[in-house]
Structure 1
Amino acid sequence: DRGATHVAIAAQGVQASLNLASSTACAGPMILDDAPDGRPPARCTVLRLGIRHDGDAPASLPLTIPDEMSFPVVSLVRLDPTSPIPQVMVSVYSGGAHCCEITSIVGRRADGTWQATPPVTEDDGNQPEIVAPGQGAAPVLVTHDGRFNYTFASHAGSYLPLVLLGYADGALRDVTRDPANRSVLEADLDRQRSNWIAGGRSEPNGFLAYAVATAANLGDPAPAWRAMLAGQDRSPGAVTPTPCEMLGQAQHTCTDAQKKAVPFPQGLSLLLVHAGYLTEAQARDLSGHTAGPGAPRYRPDFPCDPPPADNAIAAMLCSDGDAAKHQLQFDQVYYALRQQIGPEGWAALKADVIRDENEADRACGLPVPGAPDQTMPAQASACWIAASDRLADRYRQRLSGSPLEESRRDIDTHLALQQRLVELGYLPADTKVDGVYGEATRAAIAAWQRAAQRPTADGFLSDADAAALAAPPA
């Protein structure tokens, strides 16, 4: 009844009531509201929660100064497994097109006082659901992570990861990752995946971001990350995040670089770390995964923490392990050819490669590094990979003998052989094993060849040399 000034419910010896009354205590703060903006009025109408329990002194708690959109709701719930009596869940609606139901749990503490939790905000018009995971687990309050709303898709295309809250002795705590609540996350993931498929898989980045976050809460984000790389929407119309938004910073505090959109995987990684779904180490590990199941991890031949600014191609290589793998395969050819021609030919070779790579980027419609617009076209990664492979084949035609054998080697073996030189002490222990056979690696190969009495000590790993280097000690 919109005209009512008093409503009450009761169960198991607890009575909860909502009461509207004129008051001079208008300055707040209140349980479901901050202090009024500006100077508070001398008199206002306050919505108060009254609580009575057999044998205890009654409690009266100010909730909010309501308006015509408040729609207060009160219910008695069972959340605290240690309490013999129910708790009071009270909510008001804040108004707005999509926001928000503001909820607090008020419970009787061990000392007999009634205490309200800080408010929880949900992006709909309903009180949060309470579920019992089963197998003796305590009930949980089901809320959602609003940081995923509008971030990678429209409101309709956004999927929000669950945030499960447990309650005991007057306080809520995040129990999302408690093993007892795993079934709640799994059921929600199945349900939301079905909803997304039934909706025609529209705005895939909204669902894929949710799926990676949920998988992280379940303890194994790698398969979801690979599925995200394979299924992401790279089209110009996709919602593109900025580091400023992902880090939850006010625009005026962000640098110009932080205000520029980044590829979806990179933006998602930033949010997952900032929101606590992943550690920085986990994010770095995931960034090397490719879209294929069970695929190894690859990183480009330059630092990605952070990626170079104003360079969408570099950002793609940092976030797409498949593209990084093909860059390393081109590096195999380039550094073999560089060693074959000697220092006198290095400058000309580098100029040739830069020219050919720039032409390939233009043919794929990729943005020029440093240009104001760093928007990547659809299928940018696939086009770049194909172009890189063509360049590798072209430059490989200039190789012969041991350099040619080295350039054709499987990239994982190529990396493993460099790691073997570290293990044997021919390269320093802190060497970055990146597949780049520069001067230090060439010198290490030649030193090993001399020590192992190989037929030549030319710094190239022929197939026979590779087999000997990889063999375990006699």
Structure 2
Amino acid sequence: MSSIRYFFRHSLVSLAILSSAVLAQVATAETITGKSGDVQAQISYEKPQEYQYKNVRLKITRSGQTILDQKLPQDSEYDRPIGDLLEAPDNKLPVLDLDGNKEPEVIADFFTGGAHCCTYSLIYRYNSKSNQYQKIRHEWGNGGYRLRDLDKDGLPEFDSRDDRFAYAFSSYAASGYPLQIWQYRQGKMVDVTRRYPKLISSHATELWQTYTEARRQGDDGKGFLSAYLADKYMLGQSQDGWQRVQQAYKKSDRSQFFADLRKFLRETGYIK
């Protein structure tokens, strides 16, 4: 009789432990969802510890039929989905038509972890012939993007910045970034920044103001001057840009800085 009591007592304890483990697992399972018409997307993942993520999966259904359901690759256990970079309510997963073909794309945004870096997007496009989703990955670096219909054509642009300028001439905090605008077209990201001269001009003005404030606070301003000059090149105003930069920067390393800046702008495509 005592052995029977022991069996039941042991079984109840084991069941309680198992139930607690199941409840803990359920508590850490999270989802991010988004929907457009009959297309619904869901990212699910487990969070065994804070800042650790595993079993990240993306599921896309059309009219209730599952078209894609797969585990997503992670750069590390800290690589995690972050929902909508627009910080929309309910942590929504963006599902919307990006290229005007009346078919919504799915944008899955991720953060790799770390103090400054990095964010990237996985963008999924439906292929009606194969009944499959095709994916591209776009790196945003330290920054992210905002979806904005800049040309009022009913399709959003990715309003971002050129993260290649991070640390190029100064610390992260003292780095400036040229404007960068992207469009998603037929499965590819296209840099269309130069189509928006008014926005570039406004951005250049802001950079110059930031440079002026940085100088007042004791920074040499090289990080902001470099981004300002890149904006001026996109406006076709390189001569005026160089004149202002050369007048502004008078430190002893100016010749080396100007040479390095010219080389960098050529390598990044601002000098054609």
* TM class by smaller structure: 0.7 to 0.9
Which residue in the other structure is 2:118 paired with? 100
Which residue in the other structure is 2:61 paired with? 52
Structure 2 CA distance for partners of 1:216 and 1:145, relative to 1, 3 Å: same
Q: What does 1:25-424 correspond to in 2, within 5 Å?
A: 45-54=54-63, 57-65=66-74, 67-68=77-78, 70-74=80-84, 75-78=93-96, 80-109=98-127, 111=129, 112-124=131-143, 127-136=144-153, 138-177=155-194, 179=195, 181-200=196-215, 202-235=219-252, 263-279=256-272
Structure 2 CA distance for partners of 1:89 and 1:2, relative to 1, 3 Å: farther
Is the 8 Å Cα contact of residues 211 and 225 (structure 2) preserved in structure 1? no
**1:200: Cα distance to partner?**
4.5
Structure 2 CA distance for partners of 1:79 and 1:176, relative to 1, 3 Å: farther
Which residue in the other structure is 2:3 paired with? none
**1:117: Cα distance to partner?**
1.4
SS in 1 for 2:72: strand
Residue identity matched to 1:211: Y
Measure the CA separation in 2 of the matches of 1:48 and 1:225.
49
SS in 2 for 1:58: strand
Gaps of 5+ in 1: 22-43, 239-261, 280-474
Q: Could you tell me the TM-score, scaled by structure 2's length? A: 0.72
C-alpha root-mean-square deviation of aligned residues, in Å?
2.9
SS in 2 for 1:64: coil
Task: Determine which structure has more spread, i.e. the larger CA radius of gyration.
Answer: 1
Structure 2 CA distance for partners of 1:137 and 1:57, relative to 1, 3 Å: closer
Residue identity matched to 2:141: E
Measure the CA separation in 2 of the matches of 1:151 and 1:268.
9
Which residue in the other structure is 2:31 paired with? 6
Is the 8 Å Cα contact of residues 204 and 233 (structure 1) preserved in structure 2? no
SS in 2 for 1:183: helix
Structure 2 CA distance for partners of 1:86 and 1:2, relative to 1, 3 Å: farther
Identical columns (%) = 22
User: Could you report, residue by residue, the CA deviation over 1:292-312 in whole angstroms, capped at 9, with x for unpaired residues?
Assistant: xxxxxxxxxxxxxxxxxxxxx
Q: What does 1:8-27 correspond to in 2, within 5 Å?
A: 8-20=33-45
Is the 8 Å Cα contact of residues 107 and 114 (structure 1) preserved in structure 2? yes
Measure the CA separation in 2 of the matches of 1:164 and 1:109.
26
Gaps of 5+ in 2: 1-25, 47-52, 85-92
More helix by share: 1
Residue identity matched to 2:259: Q
Is the 8 Å Cα contact of residues 33 and 41 (structure 2) preserved in structure 1? yes
User: Could you report, residue by residue, the CA deviation over 1:435-460 in whole angstroms, capped at 9, with x for unpaired residues?
Assistant: xxxxxxxxxxxxxxxxxxxxxxxxxx
**1:7: Cα distance to partner?**
3.2
**1:211: Cα distance to partner?**
1.0
Which residue in the other structure is 1:358 paired with? none
User: Could you report, residue by residue, the CA deviation over 1:157-180 in whole angstroms, capped at 9, with x for unpaired residues?
Assistant: 110112221112222122122x2x
Measure the CA separation in 1 of the matches of 2:179 and 2:128.
29
Is the 8 Å Cα contact of residues 78 and 112 (structure 2) preserved in structure 1? no
User: How many residues were matched structurally?
Assistant: 229
Larger relative contact order (CA 8 Å, sep ≥ 6):
2
User: Could you report, residue by residue, the CA deviation over 1:130-153 in whole angstroms, capped at 9, with x for unpaired residues?
Assistant: 122235384221232222111112
Measure the CA separation in 2 of the matches of 1:158 and 1:2.
41
Structure 2 CA distance for partners of 1:57 and 1:272, relative to 1, 3 Å: same
**1:63: Cα distance to partner?**
2.5
